[in-house]
Amino acid sequence: MRVHRLLSALLLLRPVNQLFYENTTDGAYATLFFAEYDDKVRRLRYANCGHLSALLLRSDDTVERLHSTCTVLGLFKEWDCLITETLLFSGDTLALYTDGITESVNEAEEEFGEQRLIEALRRHRELSSEDLLGSIVNEVKQFSPHEQGDDITLIVAKCRGN
């Protein structure tokens, strides 16, 4: 079953790469974070195709980065990808985000950055996922009050107790 599911993910991602490669201009590419979560065993399987590292804030306040497991989609005709996994535990918070969050700049041309994002996740960790998401987006908008030059995309998921 495990090998079959991993193979299924690869069989899905390889054609996506092929479509990007064949249908975009030279040098065009896309990043992607693909994940599958099994709530019964609290296992997150993922492929990070050149996307920013997802942040996994553990209940003990440590941070794990879910780094790239392969290159971006669309640049190369021959493309392969690793699927990796991690276990989630009660109280863990997973954050997926685009560079519109971390590269938002203030008046002094400082970026919001990954460290401010981690601090915000820690500061608001007790909130519901929806309120946590809203609090962080509000912090980014307060930090960078002018019109954004990029999208602000943030996904937050919390692992709850039994």
Residues 82, 162, single domain; the answer is no
Burial, 89: exposed, middle or buried (Cβ in 10 Å; 0-12, 13-18, 19+)? exposed
Residues 64, 104, single domain; the answer is no
Residues 99, 85, single domain; the answer is no
Question: What's the confidence (pLDDT) of residue 7?
Answer: 60
Count of the separate structural domains present in the chain: 2
Residues 40, 102, single domain; the answer is no
54-57 and 43-49 as β-strands: parallel, antiparallel, unpaired?
unpaired
At 31-55, the pLDDT tens digits run 999 999 999 999 999 999 999 999 9
Q: Domain boundary at 89, 115, 149, which? A: 89
32-38 and 43-49 as β-strands: parallel, antiparallel, unpaired?
antiparallel
Residues 29, 44, single domain; the answer is yes
Q: Domain boundary at 89, 110, 135, which? A: 89
Residues 84, 110, single domain; the answer is no
Q: Which domain holds residue 103?
A: 95-162
Residues 8, 74, single domain; the answer is yes
- Cα–Cα dist 56/117, whole Å: 12
Question: What's the confidence (pLDDT) of residue 96?
Answer: 98
**22: three-class secondary structure by DSSP:** helix
Residues 113, 42, single domain; the answer is no
> Which tokens belong to 106?
């203030």
Residues 82, 107, single domain; the answer is no
Residues 28, 49, single domain; the answer is yes
Residues 3, 17, single domain; the answer is yes
Q: What is the DSSP string of 93-150?
A: EEEEE-HHHHT-B-TT--B-HHHHHHHHHHHTTTS-HHHHHHHHHHHHHHHS-SPPSS
pLDDT tens digit at each of 162 positions of the chain: 354 455 666 778 999 999 999 999 999 999 999 999 999 999 999 999 999 999 999 999 999 999 999 999 999 999 988 899 999 999 999 999 999 999 999 999 999 999 999 999 999 999 999 999 999 999 999 999 887 777 889 999 999 876
Question: 152 to each of 24, 67, 99, how far by Cα in Å?
Answer: 24, 20, 8
Q: Domain boundary at 47, 67, 89, which? A: 89
Residues 84, 100, single domain; the answer is no
Question: What's the confidence (pLDDT) of residue 161?
Answer: 73
- Cα–Cα dist 109/144, whole Å: 9
pTM across the whole model: 0.90
